[in-house]
Copies of this chain bind each other. A is one copy, B any other.
Amino acid sequence: MIFSSKAEYGVRLMVELGRQSPEQPTSLKAIADAEGLPLAYLEQVVARLRKAGLVMSARGAHGGYWLARPAEDIAMVEVVQALEGAIAPMECFVHDHTERVLCSHEPDAGRGCATKLLWTRVQGGIIRSLQTTTLAELVEFSRRTELARTA
């Protein structure tokens, strides 16, 4: 019922990258300092984003990360999916190899899996909300609240 901290950290990282100009890369250390997060752990988080093709990187001195696409073209469902794996409200949604008896659905179980109907709706609700939110929105929100504070 709860997303792991990878999602939280990863989203913050993406917002931070969205705030930077994509000309020069931003180092993880800068982000870790700004957000107060453990650098070594952020490395693991950003690795997922890179493998998903959401950020690009340059190694060596003055290296760092930047968004692979403009923030307007990044739906948050991609980000969360990269960080958390498949978006699923129940285990049997992601592992079809139903080792545990958690899900007795369709096959010979006697009755159709009524719960599956429920979890499908929930999944739809989650995905829809993530699909209609772009990274650019979050970046702008972050800028606006920052401004409100300064004023």
Contacts and interface: CB of A to CB of B under 8 A. Distances in A.
Interface of chain A: mostly helix, strand, loop or mixed = helix
A1 B133 contact: no
Interface of A: 1-5, 7-8, 11-12, 15, 34-37, 76, 84-85, 87-91, 94, 101-104, 110-112, 114-115, 117-119, 121-122, 124-126, 128-130, 132-133, 137-139, 141-142, 144-146, 148-149
A36 B126 CA distance: 30
A112 B144 contact: yes
A122 B129 contact: yes
Residue of A104, A122, A141 most packed against chain B (CB within 10 A): A122
A6 to B, nearest CB: 10
B114 A15 contact: yes
Given A114-B145, A121-B130, 14 more contacts: A1-B84, A1-B88, A2-B88, A2-B91, A5-B91, A8-B102, A8-B103, A15-B114, A112-B141, A112-B148, A114-B141, A118-B133, A121-B129, A122-B130
B3 A4 contact: no
Contacts of A110: 34, 146, 149
Contact of A117 (B1, B7, B84, B138): B138
Contacts of A34: 110
